[in-house]
Structure 1
Amino acid sequence: MKLARHEKIIELIQEYDIDTQEELAARLNEAGFKVTQATVSRDIRALKMTKVAGKDGKSRYAILQDTQPGLGDQYTRVLNDAIVSIDVGQNLVVIKTVTGMAMGVATALDALKWPEILGCIAGDDTIMCACKSTELAEGVMEKLGGILNRR
């Protein structure tokens, strides 16, 4: 049942711009899957779904595939569409994003597997990346600026 539900979730997010767990649960219930919001939340984590900017600028759920080493087109798009500003405070890189996009950007940063980043914590529109040192944090900011073609 779980596998069929996951397949249906993938089908639904490809067909519709779904931006809330409640909307996803409603569509699953309409499709005959009796789910609660808690089940949908677990499915979102299991499928490694995140929110990305849709064509109309609203956020929507998507599954980011880590199919290639380095920085894939999907990650570049997420970073470019969502990042508003980047700043450094000692060994922390603080990234401001469009509202609701911090989790997607943090997922993309984690997928980069940059050795200088110890880990990222994402809120709604802010990410804190802990780096191994102040110097490495400055380097991460420069690398991100290069990806975004900004300084």
Structure 2
Amino acid sequence: MSNKVTRRQFLNYSLMGVGSFMAAGMILPMGRFALDPLFQTDAEGDEIVTSVKVSEITEEPQKVDFTFTQQDAWYESEVTNFAWVYKDGNKLIGLSPVCKHLGCTVTWAGDDGNPDMFFCPCHNGLYTKDGNNVPGTPPRGPLDEFEVGEKDGYITIGKKKENTLV
């Protein structure tokens, strides 16, 4: 009994081996891409300390800037954003400045006809002080809310969530 490998068997083994390496070369990166988010740590829950003191906040919404580090693949950058923060009794409320209609930036008292509302200049959208969209104007939903806290007398901004005030 001879254990010689024929040319046909050698070619078959060679092509199967090369094909397996090529398939693994395509499947492994796709698997890594699919599973990588499961192993990432969630840094979004971190609170960002701002430079605004809690004692400076009144019942009228004020613009509070905050900066955080954003990682895009291998590029790391500083991103500046802001929230509309005000006091409701002893509670601090923070609302997102992003309109739910087209993503434009809303302003407090930006419309002379509605001085006690948030105004979106893109399509004249209006929101009440608690972020609820005014019926008959373009916004499709209430403004998102930020988790707001206090640390050493300064305002902290946490992650964004759906509006719980309306």
State the TM-score, normalizing by the size of structure 2.
0.23
Q: Larger Cα Rg: Structure 1 or Structure 2?
A: 2
> In proportion to residue count, which structure has more helix?
1
State the TM-score, normalizing by the size of structure 1.
0.24
